[in-house]
Amino acid sequence: MSSLAVATALQALLAMVPRSLVPQGVLGATKRTGSRIEEADHDSEDPDNKFSLDINNETDSLTSRCYGVYGCFSIAQPYLSLARPINVFPLSVRDLTPKFCLYTRANPSRCQKLRLGDPGSVTSSNFRTGAEVKVLTHGYLEHGDKKWLKRMVAEFLILGDLNVIVLDWLSGSGPPYTQTVANIRLIGAILGRFILDLRDYVGVEPGHIHVVGHSLGAQLAGYTGLYLKERGASLGRITGLDPAEPYFEGTEPVVRLDPTDADLVDVIHTDAGPIITGGLGTLQTSGHLDFYPNGGIRMPGCGAHLIDSVAKEQGNIPYGIRRFIGCNHIRSYEYFTESINAACPFLSIECGSWEAYLKGRCWECGRSWERCARMGAHAHSHLNYTQPKQTERKMFLITGADSPFCTFHHRVSVVMSYSTEARLQGGDVGVFYLTLYGQKGQSPRIQLNQEEIFFEPGNVYTYMIGSADLGHLKHVVLEWLYVTVYYNPLTWRLLSQPVVHVNRIHIDSIEMQERYEFCGLDMPFRSGTRRQLEWQAACPEQAPSPGASFLGTLINFDVEDTIYSNIDAVNSGLNSLGNGQFISNLASSTNQVARELMESARRRIGARVNKRRREGEDDTSRRKQRRWRVWG
């Protein structure tokens, strides 16, 4: 083990011990070791980078180390906490050696290296002083030549004549993870110094620079914004692509990406499940705009077989394995890359929760579209971020399972009939499916309610769905399937046939700003019925909705959600105890695991029930088969 590693490990250990209990001899020896290490770093300084790479390091204490113009870094609180039990110093600048590659339309695929403290490397390159600057960077165990970075560079150069710079910090992105977490603090400062050099050499203001980072690269961008802010400058924009969760979730804002790191901080969350279930990204809000596509935890199209994942990577097995394991995590940069030049706007709507969004409770953008925003490259469009009310907004949208991922959103309201026949029937339990037909094509068969519910006469049931751009809608096909809830006798139909009556389907197309009514004319829908509903200027009116009945409330009562609501209430109370945010996150992670286990069990039971139903086996025949297996 090198002397640097020994000194770093000893300092990290001593940082957790009260200073009064540490012998003075140990303190002195550690300081002398650190000084020798850093003097050696300074003596081996690259003369080409003598201006910006001023690393006249001095170890000030056991819990703080300075790196010249890049500042001093502490491993004490708030960087040491329950969420960050192991904390070390960044490696030396000499060991990290980040690289800056410039790409423009004059060199779209050939890297032009820009060097810190070397004005000539910028002025002699294809860098355009009047063009926007995009800085892209990767995460843990990655490098600057990744395919996704090259695709993003190409899309940006199609968008405009831009300066696209890729920050490659491969030398600092390797294991152990805790060392990489420490390294990005210094690399973020180095990027900050580089941005100040661009200001000083070619007149590019930091406020005109946009940094896009994935995973740990997003947290790195936050440290860049912090470095500039401490020196009187302000970074224009940071886009965090699924910022890394481990060692950042539940920490103080200064430790992680937060809204103060740039004039605009927009974040895309795609893998925000608990780390113990494989989630790698943060769930908590980190910017002015936090986008949670599909709820931010599980993305459509992920969970496929390994062979399918390899096929999507054109047979590249290592990339296929990475996609198979980290599908949700990489969706963030796939969405962002598509958004750069897509005609589809990736429109999102502000809402309190994903559940409320799915139920169609948040669907209006407002007269000036103040409650909506575009996820991805154009998140800055049509919004005024200088107002405090524009901070920490949760935005939700639906994406497709495959590229192109962007969808057009529709708020669908199923209005149940309140006719005499419908009231006599009393409603039934089941699931609705809808297919949209427009001028440009048709949607797939979309399941409206994800779980079976009791549909009552006269009530309205609302859902948010997504589809490709279908143009103006012409008609819809509605299907209803009866579902028996075996453990609930109130849902059994023993003496009559299950049926529901539909008055109309009301659809608000969000992006198209159009409203449609497709008339059901109070017709009965028996289980398995598929019926085409036509557009009309006005469907026949009916009596006002009576609201949920006692029977409907009893059948639709969700014990599971009630239990979790009580648990969440307890979690919120824990915030007042010690590191409450960390305790709450831990409890919430446990809740999420329980939800996923129950959901998995529900899917398995539902799959078995549906299989039996498709095979047409009744209870009598199954009993006969079991008897034959026992006695035959």
Burial class (CB in 10 A: 0-12, 13-18, 19+), 409: buried
Q: Two tokens at 101?
A: 């590659």
How many CB atoms neighbour CB 289 within 10 A? 28
In 340-467, which ranges are continuous DSSP H helix? 354-358, 420-425
In this structure, the dihedral spanned by the alpha carbons of residues 26, 29, 34 and 37, taken in order and rounded to 10 degrees, is -140
Contact at 8 Å (CB) between 70 and 226?
A: no
Contact at 8 Å (CB) between 269 and 296?
A: yes
Out of 118, 242, 290, 522, the active site residue is 242
Burial class (CB in 10 A: 0-12, 13-18, 19+), 396: buried
Rounded CA Rg of the chain? 29
Q: Give the CA distances from residue 552 to residues 55, 428, 453, 462, in Å, rounded to whole numbers and listed in that order.
A: 71, 9, 9, 16
Q: Does 329 participate in catalysis according to the annotation?
A: yes
Would you list the DSSP string of 254-308? TTS--GGGSSEEEEE-S--S-GGGT--B--S--SSEEEEETTSS--TT-S--HHH
Closest CA to 479 of 441, 446, 442: 446
Question: Which amino acid belongs to residue 514?
Answer: E
Q: Give the CA distances from residue 620 to residues 486, 607, 625, 626, in Å, rounded to whole numbers and listed in that order.
A: 16, 20, 9, 10
Q: Two tokens at 311?
A: 């096929």
Out of 138, 210, 288, 329, the active site residue is 329
- Helix, strand and coil content of the chain, in percent to the nearest 5, comes to 35, 25, 40
DSSP run (H or E) holding 499 = strand 499-509
Helices and strands in the chain: count of H runs, count of E runs: 15, 23
Handedness of CA 47, 50, 53, 56 (dihedral sign): positive
Q: Two tokens at 230?
A: 């401490």
Contact at 8 Å (CB) between 236 and 264?
A: yes
Backbone angles phi, psi at 415, to 5 degrees: -95, 115
Q: Give the CA distances from residue 112 to residues 49, 281, 547, in Å, rounded to whole numbers and listed in that order.
A: 17, 32, 66
Contact at 8 Å (CB) between 582 and 81?
A: yes
Out of 92, 121, 215, 417, the active site residue is 215
Contact at 8 Å (CB) between 300 and 263?
A: no
Report the residue count for the chain: 632
User: 534-565: b or e for each residue (b if 16 or more CB lie within 10 Å)?
Assistant: ebeeebeebeeeeeebeebeebeeeeeeeebe
Q: Two tokens at 576?
A: 């007042």
How far apart (Å, rounded) are the C-alpha atoms in residues 7 and 267?
37
In 48-125, which ranges are continuous DSSP H helix? 93-96, 119-123
Q: Does 242 participate in catalysis according to the annotation?
A: yes
Q: Does 46 participate in catalysis according to the annotation?
A: no
Which residue numbers are catalytic?
A: 215, 242, 329
